[in-house]
Amino acid sequence: MADIIHLLPEAVANQIAAGEVIQRPASALKEILENSVDAGASEIRVVIRDAGKTLIQVTDNGSGMSEKDAEHCFKRHATSKIHKVDDLFAIHTLGFRGEALASVAAVAQVELKTRRRQDDMGFSIQVEGSKVTKKAPCQILPGTILSVRNLFYNVPARRNFLKSNTAEMRHIIEEFQRVALVNPEISMNLFHNNKQLFQLPEARLRERIVAIFGPGYKEKLIPLEQQANDIKISGYIGKPQYAKKTRGEQFFFANKRFIRHPYLNHSVENALQELLPGDSHPTYFIYLEVDPKKIDINIHPTKTEINFQENQLIYALLRSTIRQSLGKYNITPAIDFDVEQSLDLTPPVQGKPIKNPFQRGPVDYNPFGNHSPRRKDACSPSSPQGWEKLYEGLKNIPEASASKPDAPECFPQGEGEGRTVDFCQIRQRYILTGIKSGMVLIDQQRAHQRILYERFLSQLEQKTHVSQQALFPQNVTLSPSDAGILREILGELRVIGFSINHLGKNTFVINGTPAGMKEQNMQDLMENILENYKRNMVELNLEQKTNLARSMAARIAIRPGKQLSQQEMQSLFNDLFACHIPGLTPDGKKILVALTGEQIEQLFKQ
């Protein structure tokens, strides 16, 4: 029998390797940007066309390459950054495997123009599917221009796998931001389809953050600074009151490299625990500097997952650092600060629940006021904060009186004073009502969304089974990928109250819906819920339960245009203020606007 093992041609081997390094336009951009940083550039300009599918072009004013290096750089394992095995353990540059350009050139049409400062002429080389197609001298300023055209032109399976331009562009922006956040001293610009998306002049870190995320950030950041046990921590943490509903701006960098580190994220959330409202997440930009020998970066080719040898020490140090800073900037009660001054570095045991740092004594300062009406006792009535002001006394509202539906409901207020509550619906969209301190205007759709979200979430968490509303069975047929997702969340949908079964292939039958839900076209409903669900999954990386609760709430909530009766408004109002966070929708939109008596008086002063 003939020998059957043969060596793959280099182009094929490169293409296979490329799969590991270059998954999408954003991963190509990341590698190219990192090369520009490694080359010592002080200015980088990125031009993107069609979310990187047609063109990714990076121009830098870095070291440039000699003619020979320009030819070599596309070969696999061609790198100027490591020479021997030992170098692997002391990496200070971003790239080092010498794989990136070889990978990009295997799956795209690439043009490199480069010139070193000491050379009079530049050199240009074109490579297509790993083959050099053209070489020539060229005129160019010192530095490098790398243009990557038609990524995956020769790997249709990958090209088809790319997401919409919006989704791919989001990844590109993410990578651009990550590089920009570790290199504030480099001036960076990003253009997409001739539109400038970012113009980031050379700056200090704080200004860079503001330049990227908006002027609102000027007020939001508390600096972090710590150096102990050979570990340096710096950066900023967002004030807890600006925490977001989604895990948006959370950045860890280790030795100038963006990393993901759920364990350290836990440390941050733990440090802020009592200061964050229920389902919100802190913003942070945290930079760690650790001896490279104590990091194993090599565990993943795209290198965002890394492991520290001293994980637990870093966890404890980070938590203390954050609490110290909060204390210094008066965000946290002094009582905690005093204890934290001593820098308690006992590491928690990984995997075990971690003690709440704020359990000692009452927390007398909470920048949010107290959100939850269930914790009314925690709020001093003489100085109500935030929402507390709004639902002062509301606990006494009785259920809407069913016996006299048309009469305005009366209920006693705190000190025995009587008051009449009327709800007024404005433009079939907003609910207006008086409250003790003034008046409040509520967006009916958003309020309902919040109520449903909390209800679904608690059902999902407690697995309480809810009664279902019988329905004339309706079949729903979905695309194979949607059907796959639906199968995954079938159990959760049942907990929420759907009676739903898989009929085989991509078809499902729905026999019942959650109590209180109006009968409607199930095909539309499911498609819509799945649409929301997928979007949340891609954009926000939400946990399954949260995602489902949100998607359902968004889909099912009453819309503007729905006329509501007095009782309906009353119960919406009561349910809203029984929520943990009555003021914001799950995705962070404002639900209500309140005016105090004084504010109303002000409006009439003139």
| List of residues contacting ligand ADP (CB under 6 A) | 31, 35-36, 39, 60, 62-65, 73, 78-81, 95-102, 144
* Residue 11 binds which of Mg ion, ligand ADP, none (CB < 5-8 A, kind-dependent): none
Number of separate helices (H) and strands (E) present in the chain: 18, 24
Contact stretch for Mg ion (CB under 5 A) within 11-19, 96-104, 113-121, 331-339: 96-104
Exposed/middle/buried for residue 93 (C-beta within 10 Å: 0-12, 13-18, 19+): middle
* Residue 388 binds which of ligand ADP, Mg ion, none (CB < 5-8 A, kind-dependent): none
Is 35 one of the binding residues for Mg ion (CB under 5 A)?
yes
Which CB, 77 or 404, lies closer to ligand ADP?
77
Distance from chain centroid for Cα 268: 15
* Residue 19 binds which of ligand ADP, Mg ion, none (CB < 5-8 A, kind-dependent): none
Asked if 107 contacts 22 with a C-beta cutoff of 8 angstroms, the reply is yes
Task: Locate all alpha helices (DSSP H) within 515-565, ordered by sequence.
Answer: 522-540, 544-556
Which CB, 101 or 447, lies closer to ligand ADP?
101
* Residue 36 binds which of ligand ADP, Mg ion, none (CB < 5-8 A, kind-dependent): ligand ADP
- What distance in Å separates the CA atoms of residue 589 and residue 398, rounded to the nearest whole number? 29
Exposed/middle/buried for residue 546 (C-beta within 10 Å: 0-12, 13-18, 19+): buried
Task: Locate all alpha helices (DSSP H) within 342-421, ordered by sequence.
Answer: 388-391
With helix as H, strand as E and coil as C, how does 321-343 read? HHHHHHHHCCCCCHHHHHHHHCC
Is 100 one of the binding residues for Mg ion (CB under 5 A)?
yes
Dihedral (CA of 361, 367, 368, 370) sign:
positive
Which CB, 104 or 379, lies closer to Mg ion?
104
* Residue 500 binds which of ligand ADP, Mg ion, none (CB < 5-8 A, kind-dependent): none
Is 25 one of the binding residues for Mg ion (CB under 5 A)?
no
Size of the chain, expressed as the number of residues it contains:
606
- Residues in contact with 383: Cβ distance below 8 Å, sequence separation at least 6, in sequence order: none
- Please provide the distance, in angstroms rounded to a whole number, between the alpha carbons at the two ends of the chain: 101
* Residue 423 binds which of ligand ADP, Mg ion, none (CB < 5-8 A, kind-dependent): none
Which CB, 76 or 448, lies closer to ligand ADP?
76
Contact stretch for Mg ion (CB under 5 A) within 5-13, 92-100, 201-209, 510-518: 92-100
- What distance in Å separates the CA atoms of residue 550 and residue 532, rounded to the nearest whole number? 8
- Residues in contact with 116: Cβ distance below 8 Å, sequence separation at least 6, in sequence order: 63, 64, 65, 66, 142
Which CB, 64 or 277, lies closer to ligand ADP?
64
* Residue 321 binds which of ligand ADP, Mg ion, none (CB < 5-8 A, kind-dependent): none
Which CB, 57 or 566, lies closer to ligand ADP?
57
Contact stretch for Mg ion (CB under 5 A) within 30-38, 231-239, 279-287, 416-424: 30-38
Contact stretch for Mg ion (CB under 5 A) within 13-21, 91-99, 153-161, 425-433: 91-99
Q: Both tokens of residue 233?
A: 């921590």
Shortest Cβ distance from residue 94 to Mg ion (Å)?
6
Binding site for Mg ion (CB under 5 A): 35, 95, 100
